[in-house]
């Protein structure tokens, strides 16, 4: 098994590598300190069975790093890892195609078990967090939208302009722009058109 661990802390990478190599000697572990370094590794040495991405490392910018890697390497299995994460972070990561979430607090044998499951294509979320992520594919809650963002998104999906949305919701046009900016950030989109496309891909269109 080939595993890429992307984390900006050398000590964390070394500790994870030590755990995995001790419990799974046949695993080849490669390290990277940022999303940019992980991209170079995947370009120059393709064939990773699984990539573990630290949620807070340089280049992630929320979940944008995960989204960019998914787009560039669609065949690669990607999973998040973190010392702590909010349920909405995990829900949105899974909605964007992450295969699971790995707490850094897992014991050595549990860590290897989780890594092997994800490398084999199975989703993994710790049991204590699973109840908070069971609704991943469904509705705006999966992406952590506010009620107003959900309303604005519905109009976006109908092709309405900012002025039309503002009139329909009795908002200032600048307020609509702020909500669209929030939608773009949460969906990892660069503009309103891409935000609408991502919403459709995630099954958020009514």
Looking at residue 141, what is its pLDDT?
Answer: 42
Q: CA torsion sign, 62 to 64 to 67 to 72?
A: negative
Domains of the chain in start order, with CATH, are: 2-130 (3.40.50.2300), 140-201 (1.10.10.10)
Q: In angstroms, rounded to a whole number, what is the distance separating the alpha carbons of residues 148 and 153?
A: 9
Q: For Cα atoms 82, 84, 85, give the angle at the middle one, nearest 5 degrees.
A: 90
pLDDT at 140: 41
Q: How many residues does the chain have?
A: 206
Predicted local distance difference test score (pLDDT) of residue 131? 53
The per-residue pLDDT for 160 is: 92
pLDDT tens by residue, the chain, 206 residues: 899 999 999 988 988 888 888 888 888 999 999 999 999 999 998 889 999 999 989 999 888 899 889 888 988 999 999 887 777 778 778 877 888 898 888 877 888 888 988 998 888 887 766 655 544 444 444 456 777 888 899 999 888 999 999 999 998 888 899 889 888 877 878 888 888 888 877 777 66
Residue 206 pLDDT:
60
CA–CA gap between residue 188 and residue 171 (Å, rounded): 24
Query: With contact defined as beta carbons under 8 Å apart, do 159 and 190 qualify?
Result: no
Q: What is the pLDDT of residue 205?
A: 67
For 192, the token pair is: 């309103």
pLDDT of residue 142: 44
């Amino acid at each position: 098994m080939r595993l890429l661990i992307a984390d900006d802390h050398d000590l964390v990478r070394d500790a994870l590598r030590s755990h995995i190599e001790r419990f799974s000697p046949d695993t080849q572990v490669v390290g990277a300190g940022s999303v940019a370094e992980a991209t170079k590794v995947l370009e120059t040495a393709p064939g990773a069975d699984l990539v573990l991405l630290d949620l807070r490392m340089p280049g992630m910018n929320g979940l944008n790093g995960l989204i960019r890697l998914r787009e560039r390497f669609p065949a690669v299995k990607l999973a998040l890892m973190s010392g702590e994460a909010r349920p909405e972070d995990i829900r949105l990561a899974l909605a964007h195609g992450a295969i699971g979430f790995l707490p850094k607090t897992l014991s050595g044998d549990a860590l290897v078990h989780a890594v092997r499951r994800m490398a084999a294509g199975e989703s993994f979320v710790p049991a204590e967090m699973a109840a908070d992520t069971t609704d991943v594919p469904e509705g705006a809650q999966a992406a952590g939208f506010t009620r107003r963002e959900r309303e604005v998104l519905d109009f976006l999906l109908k092709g309405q302009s900012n002025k039309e949305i503002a009139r329909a919701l009795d908002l200032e046009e600048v307020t609509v722009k702020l909500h669209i900016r929030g939608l773009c950030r949460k969906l990892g989109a660069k503009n309103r058109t891409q935000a609408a496309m991502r919403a459709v891909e995630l099954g958020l269109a009514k």
